[in-house]
Amino acid sequence: MEKTIKDYLVDALDDLSSENLKKFKSKLCDRKVEPRVRRGNVEKLDYTMELADLLINTFTTRSAVHVTMEILTAIGCNQVAEDLKRDTESDGSAPQPQVQNNSVTAPQPEVQDSAVPAPQRSAAVATTPPGSYDQPDTSAALIPSSLEFKQAILREQGQKIYPVLDKAARKRLALLINNVEFDHEDMKRNGAQRDEENMEKLLRGLGYDVVKRTNLSGQEMDEAIKSFAGRKEHAESDSTFVVIMSHGKRDAILGVHYGVNNPNDVLPVDSIYSHLNSENCPALINKPKVILIQACRGGENGKVWVADSEPDQLWNMESDVWEHKEKDFISLLSCTPDTKSYRHKLNGSLFIGFLVEVFNANANKDDIEELFRQAGSN
């Protein structure tokens, strides 16, 4: 089986003595450069595999190797650092700068640049119980746009398209939060792992390094978004995606500790926009910010699609008729007000599945609002 960046990071960490591993963890916590790692989060890790996950989720795959080599060199483990550099470069696993310069009207695959027409409003997709239609097909590869298309669209609609940075210079980041395991077992989001895999593949195909966080409380989600908004890479980016998948409640997304005895473990939806607005995230001013939320917004559904152990009375999430003062946002929610969002316990949600299917097939030629419309019509 082909090795991944995580495998190489684990190998490097396993090569360290117990004393050097302690030094590595301490040095990691002492870094003054954002994003920072909390000492408490590092000290509770017992396995190098967990530490590798933390590095990737905090710094993204692209940067995790560089941060690891930096710390290895700082603690005097030069040979391990050199071995890690050699292994990732010779294997081709370490992401390399891209030099191609194609473009389309929605965020695009790594083989070309992209642009997004000005988003101004929120939207919602009503995912109704499955009838006669098939499951979404998420297996297809993302279709790249052609150079001819880029030239034509810029010529015809150049003033309506956001500026696109050259691939060799830009640093696109996306945040992906997925809550699967909850304190209450009957709230487990079976199939959500497949959604995470599909969405991460899509985002990477569109040219984004993905910051992944899993199983967070409401406060931890808030902190994750705030930290993401402060990432210095945004200054060298031309857009961003924030994808949150969890259970939903009125005006909020539920944390993993939510329950009758802990009803305040939630993330207010407005906090997402607040953290990413012009005041709190100036690096993303005049740049598209795409917010995707997969969560129920009510309890009206008629019947439960699959035996997913979700009580029928759960989760209310209010109307999507929000007036955002923040500019350059576009939002897509998984269902209309007062309804449930359906998720297959093995294949994942309709919302994520159809979104990935539509982007894979049409992101090479359609703008993001049209892609959202297509996903919503399935």
Catalytic residues: 247, 296
Closest CA to 42 of 28, 32, 31: 28
- Which residues are bridge partners to 349 per DSSP? 343
Positive or negative torsion for Cα 222, 249, 175, 5: positive
CA distance 53 to 212: 9
Closest CA to 134 of 301, 350, 373: 350
Q: List the strands of the sheet with 248-249, edge to edge.
A: 248-249, 252-254, 266-268
Q: Packing angle between helix 368-376 and helix 350-362, nearest 10 degrees? A: 130
- Which residues are bridge partners to 240 per DSSP? 173, 289
Residue type, position 359, single letter: F
CA distance 239 to 175: 12
